Amino acid sequence: MHPPEIRAHARLLYSSGATIADVARRVRLPYYTVRHWCREPPAPLMQATALRCFRCRKDVDNPTDEPAYAYLLGLYLGDGHLVTSARVPVLRISCSNTWPGLIAECDTAMRAVLATKVQRVQQQGCVNVQSYGVHWPCLLPQHGPGKKHERPIVLADWQRAIIERHPGDFLRGLFHSDGCRFANRVTVRGKVYVYPRYMFSNESADIMGLCQWALDLLGIAWRMNRPNSLSVARRPAVAALDRHVGPKS
């Protein structure tokens, strides 16, 4: 049984124009083995995600790009949906048309974590950034039927370890999906004060708890202004969060 990366490499050489005989010589394997690989019905997407799934590969303990995974997890918990009922699972994250930079960052994170192809599907007022891949459920075990706030959302131990190492990237994903940074205006004794403020809103108590936990990891002060809304308003806290999140673009 040959490692999947050798098969993928052989197929790549063949698709680039090399003959089967040339490929066989370069990978040092029998001609008929290589011909079987190159001429059987292709499944490049499935094989590519299998090669990059750090949960299924025994020789890979963590994602090659942990910050990208932490960011993508935050986006998924906010505005993401993983469809597993189709033949090949598809990860979709809805991004507002208002933020083209966010759409690009989401696309980049998917490619960095697992995807070989990413699609951008225009919808009413938003773009669904999506990627098909058999192994997305391995990396996002929080998927399930129904809305997120109607079921438990609990991180696996290996996910918590990644977030503990990259809480800022995780918060960036959360705030880019269900949060905002804006100028807050208050009037005190007739004088108007304007200062920056972060807000994060989510109906899931579990996801809200994860946001609070990540803020605590960075020592950033927060408070709940409503049961489903968190505020970061103190000047040092806003400055600290700016270093990790910043305004959407």
203: helix, coil or strand?
coil
Query: The pTM is what?
Result: 0.78
Tell me what percent of the residues of the chain surpass a pLDDT of 70. 90
> How do residues 157-214 score in pLDDT, each as one tens digit?
999 999 999 999 999 999 999 999 998 887 777 777 788 999 999 999 999 999 999 9
Query: With 90 as the cut, is the pLDDT of residue 228 above it?
Result: yes
User: Higher confidence at residue 48 or residue 159?
Assistant: 159
Distance CA 95, CA 6 (A): 37
Inter-helix orientation angle 157-165/66-79, to 10°: 110
DSSP secondary structure, 27-76, as one string: HT--HHHHHHHHHSPP-HHHHHHHHH-TTT-TT--S-S-HHHHHHHHHHH
**pLDDT attached to residue 60:** 58
